[in-house]
Each structure stands twice: as structure tokens, then as C-alpha cells.
Structure 1
């Protein structure tokens, strides 16, 4: 079109921006910010074209550009576009809210929603859905300590209830999309009674409605209720999708229901849904039900090799203390050309640690970086420290602690404290205790672990905080 010297109008640019957004949805993020470089580069070029064609102040076009930047994870650009609007309407506010929600910035989304209300704008059904999604994102946030997280969940619930009440007044609370999002919000906030009420009063239900309620039960540990609702869904002739099956597997996994796992296996096979995530979930469920034979059999049946499925099988054997089978599967993966990832090595090294197979565990740790170019993370260091500490090889533990290139998380120090208890190593236990509290002050598990070391060694000294603290 440009080569033919045809000047695009606002509709043409909106369509191109939407196409770029579809590309962003398929692209894998390349950094911690979640940015998608290919789509982002095209988006920036299109942004330049908007200025060239003097459409940078067209609300219709700018909203599409804002949506694109949000999908690319380029939040600074998205915010700049939002601030550049000559006049903000409900659609543009909703686009910015949606961008925050897509990037799991629930808190920012809700602050923007408050600002929107202060500006006197009327909220419609679309905006309500986005705000309810923001409440869910805030309730699910795990980036802070438990106390702070509970405070966030309380705030999310209060705002969610207010949005629900507002939607009820405006007579779109039982719109299908809004109702589904309300159920999901209450489920994420742990208020199952209110989720059940909304589920019960919805006149029309689709698969998303059933999934939201089943997920709410499964996530809150009400596994029996989740499976009962799954069976009821079958009675209503609603065909389960991948989401339904994953949460049904999660529930059966927690309950250890092997019969349900077998039924779900047939559902997956008959529907031809042997996707990576479903296959891994089924293998994991078989493992949790201690049916490793079924887990291995299903792994061998798969027509495509999914890394997640192999990891699930290795983890299942590791969980049962079968280190030999975990190591065998790792070698089989390599022979089949499946490259292991960080999770694979965590499972194998942990299995070696719990069975005392030190040499093979150490070799796995070394091969991570040497053979597969995988940079060890905190959990890898925790597993290898645990391996050497359980074996009483504290000289290698000390060498590892000195060579760790990153601030380790508390799991490393708690593993070390447990091993010090077994081997009466009081001096190293104090060192591990101090570092555990530096990572997370007032960590109850660290105090309990050091108390056990002292009690086992017959020491009655009072436990203080880390050096330099009271």
C-alpha cells in the first residue's frame, strides 16, 4: 500500500496495529519486563508512521497503539501514549487498564480505576471486566510477604465487591462475561460462598463459567467439590476443554484419586488433547497417586516429545525416592535429543540428595552449565548444598557458599540448617541462620531449625537475630 503511494487512513492503521498485536500474542517475551522485541519494533515503526500521517491525536488510532504497546509489554510507551490523548474516553481508559492487567500490574490498574472514577467517567461492562481481572491479579500477587499478600487480597476483595455491586445496579452483573469474571475474582480472593452464589444465579453458563467455578474450588483446596462439579458439567453435556481437564487433574492429584485420573486419561485421549500442559498434568497426577507405571506408560504413548511431560515424569520418580529411574529418564531424554532445562536438574539433584547418591548428583550440577549452558539459580544451589550437607561433606558446602554468584534465597540456608542438625555442626548452623535472616528477617522456620540444632547439641544459649541486629 505504501509502495503504491496510497496514504493510509485511520482505519487502515488500526487494522495494521491490531495485526501487530496478534503477532505480539504469539511471540515469546525476551526479558524480565515481558517485552516482545519483534512486535515492539514494528509497533514503534508504525508509531512513527502515525506522526508522519498526522494521526497521532486520533483517539481511534491511539487506542489501538496503546493496546499494542500493552501486549508487547512496553509499559512506558503505553503510558506515554495514554498521557498524549487530547480527550480520554471510557475506551481509552479501559485500554490502559487492560494493558496493566495483561502485565500483572493489578495494583497500578486499580489506582488508575480510582482516578477514572474521580474524573467522573461512567463504567461500562467492558471496563468492569478489566477491573475485576485487576482484582484477581492483585489477589494472586506473590511478590511480597504473606502478611502483605493477605492485605492485598483483602483490598482486592473490597474493590471487587464494590464493582460487583455497581454492575448489579447498572444491570449487567449477570452479563455472561461479567458474571464469569466475578466468579473468577471471588475464587481468587478465596470467598467461595459468593462465587457459588453468582454461579447459581447466572441464567446462561458457558464452558468459561464452569471452568471458573471448578478452578475456584481446586485453587482453594476444595478438591471433592471441584470433581463433583466436573461430573455435573458432564451431566449437562458440556464438553470439557483443556482448562477444565487441568483443574480436574489438579483436584484428583491432591486427593490421590487414581480412578479419576484414569477417567481423565480417557477424556484426554478421546478428545485428542495430548497437549504439552495436559500431558504434563496427567503424568504429575499419576505420580502423586504413586502410579509411576501409568505415568511412564503415558509418557511412552505420546506421539510428540514435550519437555514438560518428561520433567513431570522425572519429578514423579524423584518424589517417590527412585533416583535411579530419574537418572535413567534424564539420560533417555538426552539420547532422544530433548534438551533438559533448569527444572529437570532441580528434580534430579533433589532425588540424588534424598537418596545419598552424591557423585551422580554432583555430575548433574556440573553438566548443567558445562554441557547445557544453563546458569544455576537459587533452587539449584539449594539442591546441591543439600546434597553435600546431607552427606556430611561440609568442605564442599563451604566452597559452594563462597562461589555462589548470586544472593541465595532462604531455601539454601534452611536446607543447610537441617543438615547441620543431622551432623551436629553448630558453627555452620549459626552461619546459615544469620544468612537466612538476612534474606528474610524473623523467619520462623530458621529459628525453629536453629533451636533444634542447639537442643540436639545440648546448648542452652538464647537465640538472637543475625549478627549486628537485636
Structure 2
């Protein structure tokens, strides 16, 4: 062109902006200014859009200065452009100041400002601005409501319904963008029925709408709904995008659906989306949470071209969850070498994986790192540090850290209780209650569940009942986590009547509720009832998880329900898509071994998709003892010791097999080998609670203040039991097994009609089992013993295990 005026320059600048060539548009604007031409409001509008897209704050402010020089500061077209520019650059106060200078504005400027508040996460401010807008008589459009609905996704369902009503009142046409926004807000509020109805109100649908539906179903963990929607989407001819697949992978992660995750991975490859960052992150997370190994997740991570913070955090947290502590720390270092700085989620994730002997040192190093990174005041990091210190038995460090905190709340104490519970320090966990009272911190449902769990771990009925009363008075019994903890408590205390009563009061039992009921029934020898509860759970439409199948396999194993157990095991993958893990195979081998089906058990070990560990051989070794199979027992002991030569339980089991086979010389030789290696059998301990105090007993320990009376009581009981045919097999003289001491203490210190409840850390031996059974008949008392395997309820000379334990 021989002559270029402001219109031609503005036209070409605008064209480049529309095509996304923002830097070229800025270059043309510089040439125009250099030519001496004066821009008009349309030129400035296009240039500001380019600055917004580039998020170039310095250039945009210079353009704003030029506008003021030329007298365009009150132009309504440029007012909206300035609001949009400052909000996209994160300068929300400047955006609002420019908006206030506008006389009254129009729909575009008001919508732009509402959008600015939404981007700033000022959800309530966005709605207040909308109210001012309609009070001034400015009519909203579909884009106004799209932005408002984005805010409602965070404010809640009631606000979403109100804005939806305004859409109808204003007669706004339901175009595809607005329909997607409505579907999204109802999905975020877990109202998928309403979201589905809205999606069908008009025939138009694109990948964004379908993805909103898929994501909604994944958020409510509706596995079937998400997959059905995905297939409908494909049949409609709409190709899924990266966000669709990311949502599906999240569902697989939440429900531990490895097989489906692999299928989706293959779909991703077919679609050519494996290089998308969101998909790569979803694959790393899915494989870490669903797979037995970390190899697949590691491979998925390596295929991500430029891993971001989420990628590294998923990898590190996954290593920690798999017990790969060294690999987690190595990835933590590599992340920083790559130039990516960990955030609070990364630090908290790696802290949860600190479990080895080197863990205390590593936790302190992470504590120091968080101080240097100024993350030690972050709530998530603080809680993770407290939990790690408590879990590792570093209780003093945990308390010191709490004292240095400027603010402690119920979450702090919940975290401490969780750590102490995981470390098995249940009595110390209950001691936190007094500290909370001193700090005037009220319990919520989460910390109360932790205290109930501690009571269950101790089988301490009295503290549990007091906490139950508190839950009723405070209204916390309506929390399902509290109800679930109560079911677990009463089940572990041998009071299934109370456990059933609490369960029946739960309006909508979840999988944890059912697991608690099945666990209680199984451990209290109600094996058929446990299996029936499993069937009821399935009829109610509750999807069993890995723990459910472990509990059912336990019930079948200890109840002799071999065929039902096998059917249950195979249904895991065939019906529910749950890949059996090593502990499921251990339970299956125990099931077959107890039934004497050794060939099938050995075949199952061979077919396992992963390498055998010492536990599975030790499990079959215990069955060899039960059936007095010396030859196979020797083989299993050899294999177990090859993998874990320092496990004294293997030597003890093998020695007992020799003893019961009449080969005591080999039994003595095995024990001598164990002592030569410096190995010791774990000491048997029993404890019971009387008047809110826990009394601990150990064989050979004479520190209890009533020890002489206890020994006299045992001798007296032995005299009385002779008439019932009892012959003492406890050859340790006066150092009787701990459960005998506990029984004597219970008889001397509890009301004559009250049940005696005893907890033992090891499996009860045959002599003590016979002794306890006959004592229950001699003194006409119910004696409940929870040993390392199960409950034994002794009553009138019989035991609930029926001699099968």
C-alpha cells in the first residue's frame, strides 16, 4: 500500500491478534507508532488483548500510559480491555480500580470484572458484583452466567441453583458453553442426576461437555457412570481429549482398577495423547496406586517430556507408598537438580514413606529442608512432620514441634494420634485427650475416631465406652468415621452384640462399615455370619475393596470354608477387577494349608505373579505343624530361612513340628541353632484392663505387686482342674505363661459374674488353651482371650474356636 492510515494499521494488528501472533502484532504496533500515526481506541484494544495473552505487564502498563496521554482513559471499550488485561496479569486491585473509574459500564465490562474476581478466587465478590450489576439495570448475558457458575462450583450447590434460576428468569438461551458450565457446577456438587438431565436438554455436545460429565462421575467415584459416559462419548463421534483420559485415570486410581487403567492407557496411545502432561501425570498416579510394583509408573514418568511439580510429586509420593524410601529420596534430589522446587505436598508425601531404620535421620533432614524452604509453617508440612515423628516413636520430638507451633488445633492432635496409633502406642494415644483438654481444643469426628481406634488396639472397653458416650452427647456419633470406629472397637473387644447395634444405626454404611462388621464377626469365630455379611454387602451394592477380600479369606480359612474361600479369591479379579496382592495369596495359602490341601497350596505359590517372600513359606510351615507334615515343613522352613534367616518364628515352628512328631532331639537341635545365631523368641505378653488401668503380664516377670497371690491362685486352679483331667504341660515352673497370670489376676480382681477379657500378643499355646477352657468350667466364668490370630471365647468348658485356631 502506498499510503497506510490508522484503519489499515489497526486492521493488520487485529488480524495478527486473532491468529494468536501476539508478538508480531506488538511489532507492527511499534512500527505504526514510529511512523507518527496516532492510534485510536480500536488499535489500543487489539494491542491490550495481545499484552493480556502474553501476560506482559510492563508493556501493557506502557500502552495504558499512552492511552491516558491521548485522552482515552474514560473510553468504555478500552475500560473493559484494561480490566481484562490487569486481571490476566494477576493485578486484581488495579483491574478493580480501572473498573470503578468507568461511568456505568456495559454488559461486557461488568462480565469482565466478574471474570476477574473469579480468576482471583474471590467467589463471593463475583456474586456481589453481579447483584450490583442487575440493580443498575445492566442485562447479563450467557458469558456472565458462565463466569458466575464457575464461582458457584466452589461456593456450593445452593448458589449454583440460584444462578441457574436466574438463567431461566432472564430467558438466556442454553447454548453449549452455558450448558457445559451448568453441568460442571452440578458435577462439582456431586449432583450427577441433575447434571445428566441438563446435558440432555439440547442435542449439542462437544468434548468439553462430555469431559465435564466424565469428570463429575469420577469425583463421586461412580465407576460405572464414568465408563458408560466415556463409551457414549465415543459412539457419538466425539474424540476424548487429554482431560477426559485424566479423569478416567483418576477413577482407576481411586478404585484400584489396574486392568481398566491399562486399557485406558492403550486408548491414550491410540489417540496419540500419551505425550500430554495431564495424561502422563494421571498414568504415574494410577500405576503407583494400583500396581504392585513401581516399574510401570516409572516408565510412564520417563515418557513425560517436561515433568512438572505434579509429575515429580506423584512419583515421589508413589515411591513412599510402596516402601521404596531410598528411591523416593533419590527422586526428591533429582527433582531439585532439574530445577523444580518441592512444595508442601511433595514434602508431606515423602515424609509418609519414612519407615526404615534410616527414617529418623531422613525425617530430621526433611525438617531442616522445610525450615530452609520456609515451609515449616505450612499446615500440611507441620502435620506430616508430627505424624512422622510420632510414627517413628520419636514422641518427644513431636511434642517439642507442637510446642513451637504458634497455633495448634484439632488437626494437630489428630495427626499426632494417627502417628502414635500407627506405631502401636495406643496407651500414649489415649493420653493425648488430657493434653487437648488442657489446651481447650474440642474433639471432632476425626480425632475421636483415632482415640476409638487406640481403645480398639488395647481392647480397652471402658475408655471406648466413655468415648462412645461422649460421641452421643456431642452429636459426633452421626459421623460415619466415628460409627465405623465404634464397630471396630466393639468387634475387637469381643462384644459383637454392641458392634451389630452400632452398625445397624448407620443410615448408609460404606465399605469401611461393612469391613468392620465382617472383621468383628470373623475374629469372634462367627465365620458363617461373616460370609453372610459379605453377601449382604454385595446385595446392597457396596463395592468390596482389597481389605474386604482379606477379611473374607480369613473367615473362610479359620472357619474351614475352603470352597467358598476359593470362590471369593477368584471373584476378586473376574468380577471386581481387583488384582490380588501378596497378602491375599498368603491368606489363600493359609486357607488351603489349614485344610491339608498342600499340593494346591504349593501350586498356588508357583502361579503367583510376583516373587515369593518368607511370609508365605512361614504360613504354609504353620499348616505343616497343624497336620504334622515333617517333610514339607522342613522344606518350607528351608525356603523361609533362605529369604529371612533372622526370623526366630521359623525356628520355633520347625522345632515344635519335630517335638510333636516325637523327634525331640531335632527340636532341641533347632532351638540350639536359633540361640547360636543370637535369635530370641518374641516374649509372650498378656494384658487386661481393670478399673481404667492396664495390667501387663510376662512369663518370668515378678514385678507385679500381686505376683505371689497370682502364683498361689494358679496352683489352686491346677489342683481343681485335676478332677477334670488336666495335666500341666507348662514346664517353666513358676514362670507360667502370661495368659495364666492374667486369668489369675482377673479372678482375684474382677466381679464374680463379669467376663474376664485378656489380650495376648502371640498365638495361644495348646496347654494354655486347654487350661483356660477348663477354668471357665471350673469357676463358671466367661473368659475372652484375643490372641495374635483371633478371639477365643471360653464358656462352660468350650471355646468358640472349636479347637481350630
TM-score of the superposed pair, with normalisation by structure 2: 0.43
| Cα deviation code 1:272-316 (max 9, x no counterpart) | 6543x5544331121112221111111112222433322322221
Q: Which residue of 2 aligns with 1:54?
A: none
Q: CA deviation at 1:201?
A: 1.0
Greater Rg by CA: 2
**Residue 398 in 1 paired to residue 599 in 2?**
yes
Distance 1:40 1:207, change over 3 A: farther
1:245 to 415, 424, 448: 448
Q: Which residue of 2 aligns with 1:388?
A: 595
Q: After the TM superposition, which residues 142-153 of structure 1 pair with which residues of structure 2 at under 5 Å, given as runs? A: 149-150=356-357
Q: After the TM superposition, which residues 52-451 of structure 1 pair with which residues of structure 2 at under 5 Å, given as runs? A: 71=285, 75-81=298-304, 84=306, 92=308, 94-105=309-320, 106-115=325-334, 127=342, 129-130=344-345, 132-140=347-355, 149-150=356-357, 154=358, 156-168=359-371, 173-233=376-436, 236=439, 238=441, 240-265=443-468, 270-271=475-476, 273-275=478-480, 278-330=482-534, 332-333=536-537, 336=540, 343-344=547-548, 346-348=550-552, 350-351=554-555, 353-354=557-558, 358=560, 361-368=561-568, 373=574, 377-389=584-596, 396-402=597-603, 406-407=607-608, 409-437=613-641, 440=644, 443-451=647-655
Task: Please tell me whether the aligned partners of residues 522 and 530 of structure 2 are also in contact (alpha carbons under 8 angstroms).
Answer: yes
Secondary structure of 2:354 counterpart: helix
Distance 1:366 1:47, change over 3 A: closer
Q: CA deviation at 1:213?
A: 1.8
Task: Please tell me whether the aligned partners of residues 487 and 499 of structure 2 are also in contact (alpha carbons under 8 angstroms).
Answer: yes
Relative contact order: is structure 1 or structure 2 higher (C-alpha 8 Å, sep ≥ 6)?
1
Cα distance in 2 between the residues matched to 1:213 and 1:317: 30
Cα distance in 2 between the residues matched to 1:236 and 1:75: 45
5+ long unaligned stretches in structure 2 = 1-17, 22-52, 56-87, 89-118, 120-149, 151-207, 216-242, 288-296, 674-805
Distance 1:220 1:420, change over 3 A: closer
| Cα deviation code 1:365-392 (max 9, x no counterpart) | 2432677746874133223224313xxx
Cα distance in 2 between the residues matched to 1:340 and 1:159: 37
| Cα deviation code 1:48-67 (max 9, x no counterpart) | 898xxxxxxxxxxx7x7876
| Cα deviation code 1:152-185 (max 9, x no counterpart) | xx1x432332343354467653454443333233
TM-score of the superposed pair, with normalisation by structure 1: 0.69
Q: CA deviation at 1:254?
A: 1.6
| Cα deviation code 1:316-344 (max 9, x no counterpart) | 12222333543453454466565666654
Q: Which has the higher helix share?
A: 1
Which of 327-336 and 283-292 deviates more?
327-336
Cα distance in 1 between the residues matched to 2:380 and 2:658: 58
Cα distance in 1 between the residues matched to 2:588 and 2:601: 8
Which of 331-340 and 312-321 deviates more?
331-340
Task: Please tell me whether the aligned partners of residues 67 and 99 of structure 1 are also in contact (alpha carbons under 8 angstroms).
Answer: yes
RMSD: 4.6
Cα distance in 1 between the residues matched to 2:334 and 2:607: 40
| Cα deviation code 1:178-200 (max 9, x no counterpart) | 43333233234332211110101
Task: Please tell me whether the aligned partners of residues 129 and 181 of structure 1 are also in contact (alpha carbons under 8 angstroms).
Answer: no
Which of 398-407 and 247-256 deviates more?
398-407
Cα distance in 1 between the residues matched to 2:404 and 2:613: 46
Distance 1:328 1:44, change over 3 A: closer
How many pairs were matched up?
A: 413
Distance 1:7 1:263, change over 3 A: farther
Distance 1:209 1:425, change over 3 A: same
Cα distance in 1 between the residues matched to 2:412 and 2:658: 54
Secondary structure of 1:448 counterpart: helix
